[in-house]
Structure 1
């Protein structure tokens, strides 16, 4: 059913408007101007005509085919619009209207009513409080954003924020790359981020998935789904709401819960999702992942016409875990024959400011031929004797025939614009400074390592007690930390040994248990209200006698009671 959202036979727009100042007009205009090949139907109680097409007063009057609806009417009228769609046999709907959970309890109740109606008709929903979706290759545009839309490309974008979608569409056009599919999720009353990952990844024109996330609705399902997708195509995520102020903003925006950052880091690592720190970094990486082959190792050669940028690149590469490739004697001999005597033949290779387009191209070819070089960064400040455009034209054929990734750091602005246009047209990733280029090469290496893990067989120890593990997790609370005894039992079910431990509820018990376990021992406070015991001084180490154990018990109970008086202390 989800494929209907991306390949509908007919789209019905509820709330289409003849007033160019209304969002309902923008939605109708975009759908028609996108060149969507299916049937387009407009619905408004006033009837009439819009963009040369009839406007039907009700959904019931809309002719076939009609299998997806886009609803852009005031929030109080959305439930009856969904009812009408359900009775008409429409089973896929996008609720673009706002005024639901993000506004408070009344809006949340309205959203719940919409979901109940959708389930009664076996209908799936995107939204509410979203801008819709688009597919640049079908093509299909159900957004109400101002034209022009994004150019067709190979990067998909799934976002909790409609405003971020709008900015990315415009920014992508200016950065010279296109989008394949875009989905604005909004409040996710029904379909969540995990539901859309695979349908978007199944698009053969999508090479990279990018995600703007304010939270994750079902962590375990997201990890399972994202892992399946990431083993086929790169997934890059920007997770916001990392700090308290951001988490409050997230809650007021879509009503989402941001969750623990440590949990998100662990979930992304397990799923093979590449976590970006900024929006710019996410799309820097996406271009490299979409346009470059993956490297066979961490060794990078740097080719430049100036020493300073080369040193900057070397620092950035090493900080990101990459290495400057050791150049072979054969490589240095070939460079020596090509470049002036004063040129530096060690990595970074500094050809000097007089380097010609031909020297750039031939030096790049020599570096790519070195077996110890896994990828190359070309640094190009405006050359004093030639144009940056001429250099770009010279190196593009070398890059396009290479089996190793090459990224270009084009340093400057006005004097490099011709080179920018040439490289973007050739699908060669270019960045303004070496640090961004280094980051792109690092993510290519990280992706290569991650793919190797995908291809490795999953090993399951024979002594795993899966039933016991499932039972422990099923009985655990869905939110928060596992109690220590449950965590220890869970590790034991997987055959992982843990130190022996018991809960002491008095100084006498602490001394007795310590003696049974064997010295030295550690004492740790037991409280369901304190996740990090060390933060409240709730741990004592190197206890070496029963007397120390008894005294340590009293010390911990008194100390933690002072520092966390509201916490329940169980031992």
Structure 2
């Protein structure tokens, strides 16, 4: 297969590699990489000005001097010399370079200058850069070990890992050896001077060897692009993300309720969920889930059978599975009767199936029960718990492995996971199972967490969910197998008043009440009529015209949150009440006015939107009104959202049963609420000047909904040709530490 200029195949599948900084002197970084590249089936060319040969191979002083084409340069020279190497690579026509060297954007002002020189040199010749300041790259099947690790993890597996941390890449290498994990590719991103996570996700999603995709992220500047790539990848392959460095730096509570509620962590969590990404708490959990999904079919439901010879361990695992939303159902009477004939007298055929400590029969019973339960049709996954006696018997491990092989040969797709609670001396039997494609998870907690993620992933892709809007219910991407997967990402929702239409020209700052209402009306969002008045007398006239009862609100630029400022008076039923309320409110701030509106009934909701720095237009819905922050019952989604996805957001609220008509109450018009959510998302997409938007409250009734308070903040966003450095992984070393 030819290596295309600029294509990432040069990184993962080069034909000819140059090692810049090569050495055969023990203790040198160049010597370590020379040894690591020895298994590469193509040619490795040493480049160094310090010697004429390296390990008997002719060495070249620079990349320009190398005879023939070079697909990939691995650069291990000190940081100060790297820009010159990349200039040589550009002149030579090298497709890609892995820059191992540190001392760039993470090292202060001098390093930032070197970073900029490196990027400029690479762009001049179209050289793709991995790193700098990275662990390297491994293709375990080729094999290619262009990394610091002494050897590649076991190949033949489908797990591909992208990690920003080089040390974590080393840890994964060790884990792969210890737990017989089969990898396809390992990529350590380092400072991400060029290649971003979204591009890597797109490449690996199309890579046949990569079946399960893992990302260990410290930052995600190309968040929107990653989200869109994930929407297209997850219907075909699991995408698992462990995100570190959680922060609240995206919270802007002083500006709007929406911004205060939608902190940066909430936004990326919502984005990952919407895209069908599996979000985990740690790197260890990420690898457990990857093993579960890469080596076994995903469960298609939440019913789990547990086989154990320890009642206490079985009960603990049952509780932990319940914490994950899974169930260990009691088996049918017919199945229990069948199992009772196989089991010793004191054993329990319920679920968990407890064998009791009949050590002499473990090698017979564990494989037999795995087979019977998987074929029963009553469970979606089987978990044999192996403790000291059962784990130390090689025949048990071999029997379970062979039983799983027979299940797969017969087309039975029920997965089998082993809960391993055993001493280290029994570890070879766990290796036997894992090498045979049966994952072993140490202790019930790790087992339950991995199985919970696997079950949710499998359930979302079961045939019953084929009508969902995306990889999981509520996502914006099209269903798995759809020819238009992710198509909803590119335009405003069908039927929107603004679909495909440029937004209005707006002046920066908080829009006035009337101007904001006009913008909302253009999207089909209904607002309550009202009149702004400068005197108490005018307020009384307005109330008489609008009809009682009325609401009177203070209006002033400094009164951003009216209720908190004491600027709202409700249920005013006569002119004298309006006169008194307006007079009080006009005194709250110099130059204040009052807004008079008819009071309307309904359940209070908040619908808002903001433009997240990493993920772009984001919509929020929640239970609203004066308790919005206190209740904190909200759901977020990335815009645009179609109608079904918008209803899905409402369905995520803890208070949803109340909205849907719990205990005989009349339900609100959920379709009308969904239409408002969709319209807010479309407005953000088509009008980039809008930075934040609050509709709080929206009063929802059985026959529609209406916004009774609204605020829109307008800012001047950068033009498409005015990219800000912090928005692009090509410009920002993501581990950059600015001098204090």
TM range (shorter): 0.7 to 0.9
For 2:93 and 2:164, how far apart are their aligned partners in 1?
A: 28
On the 8 A contact 1:526/1:570 being kept in 2, the answer is no
1:18 matches 2:24: yes
For 1:449 and 1:538, how far apart are their aligned partners in 2?
A: 48
For 1:485 and 1:163, how far apart are their aligned partners in 2?
A: 56
Q: CA deviation at 1:392?
A: 1.8
Look up the match of 1:566.
none
Aligned residue among 338, 351, 355 for 1:347: 351
Q: CA deviation at 1:524?
A: 10
Aligned residue among 210, 215, 227 for 1:206: 210
For 2:305 and 2:511, how far apart are their aligned partners in 1?
A: 47
For 2:214 and 2:84, how far apart are their aligned partners in 1?
A: 35
Aligned residue among 476, 492, 495 for 1:463: 495
Q: Secondary structure at the match of 2:59?
A: strand
Look up the match of 2:9.
3
Question: Which of structures 1 and 2 has the larger relative contact order (alpha carbons within 8 angstroms, sep 6+)?
Answer: 2
1:411 matches 2:426: no
Q: Secondary structure at the match of 1:427?
A: coil
The structure carrying a bigger helix percent of its residues is 1
Q: Structure 1 433/476 Cα, relative in aligned 2: closer, same or farther at 3 Å?
A: farther
1:108 matches 2:135: no
Q: Which one is further off, 327-336 or 408-417?
A: 408-417
Output one character per residue of 1:390-423: Cα deviation in whole Å (capped at 9) or x when no partner.
2222222222224201111121213532431221
Look up the match of 1:262.
266
Aligned residue among 146, 150, 153 for 1:150: 153
For 2:269 and 2:514, how far apart are their aligned partners in 1?
A: 25
Q: Structure 1 508/177 Cα, relative in aligned 2: closer, same or farther at 3 Å?
A: farther
Q: Secondary structure at the match of 2:417?
A: strand
On the 8 A contact 2:184/2:210 being kept in 1, the answer is yes
Q: Secondary structure at the match of 1:544?
A: strand
The answer for unaligned runs of 5 or more in structure 1 is: 246-258, 559-568
The answer for unaligned runs of 5 or more in structure 2 is: 1-6, 250-262, 472-478, 573-577, 593-710, 714-740
On the 8 A contact 2:516/2:712 being kept in 1, the answer is no
Output one character per residue of 1:98-120: Cα deviation in whole Å (capped at 9) or x when no partner.
11111122222221222122212
For 1:268 and 1:501, how far apart are their aligned partners in 2?
A: 39
Q: CA deviation at 1:37?
A: 2.0
Q: Structure 1 448/81 Cα, relative in aligned 2: closer, same or farther at 3 Å?
A: same
RMSD: 3.9
Q: Secondary structure at the match of 2:321?
A: helix
Look up the match of 1:425.
435
Look up the match of 2:404.
399
Q: CA deviation at 1:342?
A: 2.5
TM-score when normalising by structure 2: 0.65
Look up the match of 2:570.
543
Q: Structure 1 346/524 Cα, relative in aligned 2: closer, same or farther at 3 Å?
A: farther
Look up the match of 2:190.
186
Q: Structure 1 431/538 Cα, relative in aligned 2: closer, same or farther at 3 Å?
A: farther
On the 8 A contact 2:20/2:77 being kept in 1, the answer is yes
Aligned residue among 350, 357, 365 for 2:363: 357
Look up the match of 2:658.
none
Q: Structure 1 312/94 Cα, relative in aligned 2: closer, same or farther at 3 Å?
A: same
Q: CA deviation at 1:493?
A: 7.4
On the 8 A contact 1:380/1:388 being kept in 2, the answer is no
Look up the match of 1:240.
244
Output one character per residue of 1:131-159: Cα deviation in whole Å (capped at 9) or x when no partner.
221101111111133x1331213211101
On the 8 A contact 2:388/2:423 being kept in 1, the answer is no
For 1:514 and 1:323, how far apart are their aligned partners in 2?
A: 60
